[in-house]
Amino acid sequence: MFKLAHISDIHLGPLPQLTFRELASKRITGYVNWHRNRRKHLFANALDLIVDDIGRHEPDHLAITGDLVNLASGIELRTAAQWLKDTGGPLDTSLVPGNHDAYVPGAHDKAMAAWYDYVRGDDDPAIFDLKHKLFPYIRRRGPVALIGCSTSQATPPFSAGGYFSARQARETVELLKKAGDEGLFRVVMIHHPPIRGAAPSHKRMMGIRRFAATMSTGGAELVLHGHTHLNTINWLQTHGRALPVVGIASASQAPGATKPAAAYNLFSISGGPGKWHLGLERHALTPAGTAITIAHRQVLMG
């Protein structure tokens, strides 16, 4: 049995104001460490509880569906890189970017350079190369193929919208077909919900129909997304089969807000082609914000 954990919308920060002098003094590494320690030792916050609980369940892999940061400033990107390192090794953690990771012009490429080991497909170059198209990527882990798509490219600055391009659609179909031929359980990761009406119109993804056609033609077993900060299970009707599309609350959300408290999905994947079994357990922060409990259990397949 393969255990896959899913978190999203970490939104690390907010960060205190730094003066130009502080930034110019190049004490950024120290600042990153300070921020990290402060988070670790002074606040037992939602994110720490979520990450600790995931660790206790010893998943085989962790999928993160974007919005690691808020404003995508250089300091945030470095802080997030350090957070990734502290949370899981790059071979066991796969990431796709969200709109906040490309918040200002140029941020997307800087973010991908800083987090490259986590978005690097099996066949990608060892060193980050701007000329190389990162998405979609494929990572094979045991019986699972993780296919990472990006909706955070080609969106205007400060926009919360997303875009799933025709090129990505074509290449995703190829990867899905290949992984299907290899008998792998195909997990597609994408930040924006590829479901009509799931996000308000100014935050939605362009290319929802194209994404659905991609899933139909290529075939997939599970789609994971973030962006809405909601715990949702939708179904995409592909050729003769219903494909589960699963979203999750922000991993940093404290209880008592309008959006649901921090949670993560823990999937169990077993069986094989034609007879896959997919179980879902959603673990969420309690209303008191002091512990994590199982909030939902469902068999999605098999």
> Using CB under 5 A, which of the segments 5-13, 15-23, 123-131, 289-297 binds Fe ion?
5-13
CB 292 to Fe ion: min, Å? 20
Among positions 217-246, residues that touch Fe ion (CB under 5 A) are 227
76 contacts Fe ion (rule: CB under 5 A): no
Q: Least distance from C-beta 116 to Fe ion, angstroms? A: 21
**Residue 191 contacts residue 152 (beta carbons within 8 Å):** yes
Whether the bond into 105 is cis, omega within 30 of 0:
no
Residue 227: CB minimum distance to Fe ion, A:
4
The one segment of 93-101, 163-171, 213-221, 270-278 that binds Fe ion by CB under 5 A: 93-101
> Which of 73, 99, 231, 234 is close enough to bind Fe ion by CB under 5 A?
99
| Residue of 127, 126, 121 lying closest to 141 (CA atoms) | 121
Q: Which is nearer to Fe ion, 186 or 204 (CB)?
A: 204
Rounded to a whole number of angstroms, the minimum distance from the CB of residue 70 to Fe ion is 9
Comparing CB distances to Fe ion, the nearer of 49 and 64 is 64
Least distance in angstroms from the C-beta of 77 to Fe ion: 16
Q: DSSP letter string over the chain?
A: -EEEEEE------PPPP--HHHHHTT-HHHHHHHHHHHHHHH---HHHHHHHHHHHT--SEEEE-S---SS--HHHHHHHHHHHHHH--TTTEEE---GGGG-STTHHHHHHHHTHHHH--TTS-SS--TTS---SEEEEETTEEEEE--SSSS--TT---EE--HHHHHHHHHHHHHHHHTTPEEEEE-SS--STTSS-GGG-EETHHHHHHHHHHH--SEEE--SS-S-EEEEEEETTEEEEEEE---TTPPTTSSSPPPEEEEEEEES-TTS-EEEEEEEEE-TTSS-EEEEEEEEEE-
**Counting contacts by CB under 5 A, is residue 101 touching Fe ion?**
no
Binding test (CB under 5 A) with Fe ion, winner from 13, 59, 97, 98: 98
Within residues 46-75, the interface with Fe ion by CB under 5 A covers 67
Q: How many residues bind Fe ion (CB under 5 A)?
A: 5
Residue 159 or 165: the one with the smaller Cβ distance to Fe ion is 159
Binders of Fe ion among residues 117 to 156 (CB under 5 A) are: none
What distance in Å separates the CA atoms of residue 221 and residue 187, rounded to the nearest whole number? Answer: 6
CB of 234 to Fe ion, least distance (A): 17
Q: Which is nearer to Fe ion, 101 or 221 (CB)?
A: 101
Q: Among 9, 53, 76, 101, which residue interacts with Fe ion (rule: CB under 5 A)?
A: 9
Q: In the stretch 190-209, what mask flags binding to Fe ion with x, by CB under 5 A?
A: --------------------
Which residues here bind Fe ion, judged by CB under 5 A?
9, 67, 98-99, 227
